[in-house]
Amino acid sequence: MKNEWLIIEVTVNGAFADLVGEILAECGSAGTIVEERVLDTFVVPDDELDPDKRYILKAYFPNEGDSADLIASLHEAIVRIPVLAQQPPAIRVAEVVGAEDWAENWKQNFSTMQIGRLVIRPSWEDEPLPDGVALVEIDPGMAFGTGTHGTTRLCLEVIEEILNESGPLASILDVGTGSGILSLGAAALGCCNILATDIDPDACQVARENIAKNGLQESIRVTDQLLEDLPGRYDLLVANILAEENVRLKHEFLAHLAPGGTLILSGILKEKEDYVRDEFSDLPLTYLETRYAEEWVCLVFRQRD
């Protein structure tokens, strides 16, 4: 059974597709497809979903237990959100597929993405690239199901622009690294001292594998140590995690941010932007900007010297 996957279908209005995709990821989905559009770490849908149209989300879960229990836990997680509780989406088990079928299904839905000089693509795409780009090769896998699609792109956009303006930074801390994609992007753009952290040992292992595949072991270290146990201060700290976790860790972020350093926060729904900004307003940080993508926001601050 460990080589089998459950495909769970969730029928939902387009207005809530991203939100439900995030919930599915938090519940253990390895990735979600919306009628051939991908909601995942480095692929953004080609066009907007119709907010009033019903879509079928297909989420992949390891086939490790009672599917009825999984359906019940998904329903419970979804109806915790008031806007979804008013009209709970339909959830059902669609089919069970083998590991090879899972991989082939994902290959049909992943393609190259470019952010400035940074190109991110799966390993099965090998077209020649123009001069001057920085390449990261990364395939969909278990650590991709973090619901960070729009948020990941926002973080990479800010990182790429900062590095274009300032050149490679002396040090970067990537909190909640998942697949390692933000660290990989920064390293490909020239940064050589990056610490990637995640409390999930499985995510750390996936990140290490992705780092090795890209030959960036000299630039990125991975740890599952808690943030409060880590020494040092960093020129850039990026945290692509949930809004509540960003708030919970705000004092640790400040303690690990060098004077004049930049703080990038994402994984935040639009409706929680004011909440996060208010919670960070009592810290010696200068608010720089908010960026938006679909339902998500990315906040950028700078440590006061």
Q: What is the DSSP string of 186-233?
A: HHHTT---EEEE-S-HHHHHHHHHHHHHTT-TTTEEEE---GGG----
Whether residue 201 contacts residue 178, with contact meaning beta carbons closer than 8 Å, is answered with no
Highest mean pLDDT among 128-132, 141-145, 247-251: 247-251
pLDDT at 147 over 50: no
pLDDT at 1: 40
- Who wins on pLDDT, 264 or 203? 264
Among 271, 225, 231, 275, which residue's Cα sits nearest to residue 250? Answer: 275
Q: List phi, psi (to 5°) of 209.
A: -65, -45
In terms of phi and psi (left: phi > 0; alpha: psi -120 to 50; beta: otherwise), the region of 196 is beta
pLDDT at 236: 97
DSSP alpha helix (H) spans, 80-127: 82-85, 99-107
Among 282, 277, 227, which residue's Cα sits nearest to residue 255? Answer: 227
Q: Provide the mean pLDDT of the chain.
A: 84
Which CATH code of 3.30.160, 3.80.10, 1.10.150, 3.30.70 fits the domain covering 4-107?
3.30.70
pLDDT band for position 187 (cuts 50, 70, 90)? very high
Share of the chain above pLDDT 90, in %: 46
pLDDT at 139: 76
pLDDT at 58 over 80: yes
DSSP alpha helix (H) spans, the chain: 17-26, 67-79, 82-85, 99-107, 149-166, 181-188, 201-213, 243-248, 250-255, 273-280
Domain 134-303 has CATH 3.40.50.150: yes
pLDDT at 156: 93
Whether residue 26 contacts residue 147, with contact meaning beta carbons closer than 8 Å, is answered with yes
The residues pairing with 234 across neighbouring beta strands, listed in sequence order, are 257
pLDDT band for position 101 (cuts 50, 70, 90)? low
Count of H-run helices and E-run strands, the chain: 10, 15
Q: List phi, psi (to 5°) of 191.
A: -80, 140
State whether residue 112 is helix, strand or coil. coil
Residues 58-82: what's their mean pLDDT? 87
pLDDT at 42 over 80: no
Whether residue 7 contacts residue 58, with contact meaning beta carbons closer than 8 Å, is answered with yes
Residues 276-297: what's their mean pLDDT? 94
For the chain, give every domain's residue range: 4-107, 134-303
pLDDT at 143 over 80: no
pLDDT at 72 over 80: yes
pLDDT band for position 146 (cuts 50, 70, 90)? very low
pLDDT in tens, 212-250: 999 999 999 999 999 999 999 999 999 998 899 999 999
pLDDT at 120 over 60: yes
Among 5, 50, 52, which residue's Cα sits nearest to residue 31? Answer: 5
Residues 279-295: what's their mean pLDDT? 94
Share of the chain above pLDDT 70, in %: 86
Q: List phi, psi (to 5°) of 68.
A: -65, -40
Q: What are the tokens at 113?
A: 């993405």
pLDDT in tens, 28-41: 887 777 765 544 43
